[in-house]
Amino acid sequence: MANTKRREKYTDRSGNMFIPMNVEGTSWDEHFINTTKLFCILGIILGYILLVIYLGTVESKPLGYVILLGAWTLVTIMLVRFVIFEEKFYYRMYKELKQNEVCTPALFWGIASIEDTDQGAIITYSDGKIAIMVKVDRDTITGKKSDFQEKHYDTLSDFYRALAQFNYSFVQMNIMEQAGNDPRLKEFTKLINKSDNSNIRKLMENEIGYIKNVTRNSLYETDYFLVYTTDMNRADHIIEEVSNIFSMLREGAYVGHSILTHKGINDFVKQEYGVEYFNSTEASLYMFRRLNGRGKLPFNISGILWTDGVEQNLNQVEINKVRNLASSVVSETVSQGDVSFKKAVYRKDIKKEAGVDFESLNQVNVRNNRSTIKQNVTNNSINNKPNGDSNKPSDSDNNAIDEDAYIDF
């Protein structure tokens, strides 16, 4: 067989192959006092010595000792806090531990989204990888021919080679699960209905029930594969390609495979971490908050342009209100229809900087109306005068103009 021929150059005359029981890489024990901190401590001590020698040489007054040694003490405090004791690092660790007193798998969740399809779920990670999770069902070797073992190993070799040829990386997990999840147990129930004899059915019910109880209390090994790639363009073909590759395993000691759905992935996480509740949406939101805390925000909110033309600049309190409302909508704690940004941050004293100012326009209309009335009154007064005095309005005309020109609207 092909597998035996490949192994010939690695075996001795007796057919034995040397396989090391444990292969470990190099390790490094990180100590609290490293080289940087050691030089920092020596520098602090040396600084004090040099300052005292310098002050003694120049015969400094006590005030000089207080000022220089006090300044160096402040520098020493900063070095001890941020270099030797690593205050920023341990304070960040303290805040994370305080925030996650009740530990959940969300701390280890690196998945940005899970998209369900008809054939399974496609996983998108925060670092740009796409993946699917495949569960492989094992077959029994009972009743197989003597050369089946060789055929099984050849199938595994071809399977791993195909994954490499398609540039897929994978993580193989051998998980011990309760045997009650074994799909072969469902086939026992079908045997009960195959007999017409009630006594035989009763006997088979008791026998199959006993087998199921024993099986559910035992464990069996299940193979899970996380197959992933860094090429985002293969998202539309990853399920089809990986399914074809896994179909090769049926030539060996496997009966089939299935791609986990969104619910299946959540159940797998709950089972492996031993928790009763897990929400992948909350875990993804926590991951984004953790990643955004390490880098700069993509944009800052400075103001809002309302639909009625008002342009409002926001202060820090109003910006925090907008962010809290948006976070509540994203986390689905508040319905989108119940959110009103205008009620939260709108200020009525803001004047319109763009568009039409209706208050000013109303005042202009009032002035125009008054001017029109004044002009009409003047013309009427002139037309009603005799010809000789048409150019000289009388005192009564002036009084009429003053009384009728400014009408209170």
- Angle value at C-alpha 197, between 194 and 203, nearest 5 degrees: 85
Q: Is residue 179 very low, low, confident or very high in pLDDT (cuts 50, 70, 90)? A: low
Measured in whole angstroms, the distance separating CA 88 from the mean position of its chain's CA atoms is 24
**Closest Cα partner for 158 from 246, 258, 221, 259?**
246
Cβ neighbourhood burial of 134 (10 Å; 0-12, 13-18, 19+): buried
Alpha-carbon gap, residue 395 to 401, rounded angstroms: 10
Q: Which domain holds residue 335?
A: 303-345
Out of 258, 288, 318, pick the residue that ends a domain: 288
Question: Do residue 178 and residue 232 come from a single domain?
Answer: yes
- Examine the pLDDT at 79 and tell me if it is beyond 90: yes
Is the same domain home to 393 and 310? no
Considering 143-147, 262-266, 374-378, the range whose residues carry the highest mean pLDDT is 262-266
Residue at 119: amino acid letter: Q
- Residue at a domain's end among 99, 120, 137: 99
> Do residues 94 and 134 share a domain?
no
Query: In terms of pLDDT, which residue wins out, 159 or 284?
Result: 159
Which residues are CB-contacts of 133 (< 8 A; sequence separation ≥ 6)?
Answer: 120, 121, 123, 224, 225, 226, 227, 259, 260, 264, 265, 268
For the segment 204-227, the average pLDDT, to the nearest whole number, is 80
Average pLDDT, the chain: 76
Q: Is residue 78 part of a domain?
A: yes
239, 375: one domain: no
Same domain, yes or no, for 175 and 125? yes
Residues 45, 173 share a domain: no
Domain assignment present for residue 117? The answer is yes
pLDDT surpasses 60 at 223: yes
Reduced 3-state DSSP string for 279-326: CHHHHHHHHHHHHHHHCCCCCCCCEEECCCCCEEECCHHHHHHHHHHH
pLDDT bracket for residue 4 (50, 70, 90): low
Residue 314 near residue 345, CB atoms below 8 Å: yes
User: Computed over its alpha carbons, how large is the radius of gyration of the chain?
Assistant: 41
Instruction: Report the range of poorest mean pLDDT among 200-214, 225-239, 321-335.
Output: 321-335
State which amino acid sits at residue 22. N
| Distance in angstroms (rounded) separating the CA atoms of residues 158 and 188 | 34
- Asked if residue 228 and residue 129 are part of one domain, the reply reads yes
Burial class (CB in 10 A: 0-12, 13-18, 19+), 68: middle
Last residue of a domain, one of 50, 65, 99: 99
| Least confident piece of the model among 24-33, 40-49, 143-152, 370-379 | 370-379
Same domain, 375 and 243: no
Classify residue 350: in a domain, yes or no: no
Q: Sign of torsion, CA 47 52 56 62?
A: positive
At 44, give phi and psi (nearest 5°): -65, -45
At residue 247, the pLDDT reads 92
Contact 132, 239 (CB under 8 A): yes
Domain count for the chain, please give it.
4
Count CB neighbours of 232 within 10 A: 10
| Token pair in block for residue 402 | 């003053």
Residue predicted with more confidence, 104 or 52: 52
User: Which residue would you say has higher pLDDT here, 387 or 157?
Assistant: 157
Q: Please indicate, yes or no, if residue 3 is contained in any of the structural domains.
A: no
Confidence at residue 408, expressed as pLDDT on a 0 to 100 scale: 32
Say yes or no: 236 and 365 in one domain. Answer: no
Q: Which residues pair with 351 in a beta bridge?
A: none
Q: How confident is the model at residue 142 (pLDDT cuts 50, 70, 90)?
A: low
In a domain, 125, yes or no: yes
- Determine, yes or no, domain membership for 242: yes
Where do we find the tokens 């405090």? Answer: 77
What's the pLDDT band for 178 if we cut at 50, 70, 90? low
Does 371 lie in the same domain as 333? no
For residues 191-218, average pLDDT: 79
Res 168 pLDDT > 90 = yes
> What is the predicted pLDDT for the residue at 297?
64
Q: Residue 254 in contact with residue 159, Cβ under 8 Å?
A: no
Q: Is the pLDDT of residue 156 over 80?
A: yes
Quick one: which of 319, 320, 302, 321 has its CA closest to 311? 302
pLDDT at 367: 46
- Residue 353 inside a domain? The answer is no
**Domain shared by 275 and 128, yes or no:** yes
Residue type for position 300: N
238-282, pLDDT tens digit by residue?
999 999 999 998 888 888 899 999 999 988 888 888 777 788 887
User: 393-408, pLDDT tens digit by residue?
Assistant: 444 444 443 433 333 3
Indicate whether 27 belongs to any domain.
no
Taking a C-beta distance cutoff of 8 angstroms, is the pair 183, 222 a contact?
Answer: no
Task: Indicate if 121 and 185 belong to the same structural domain.
Answer: yes
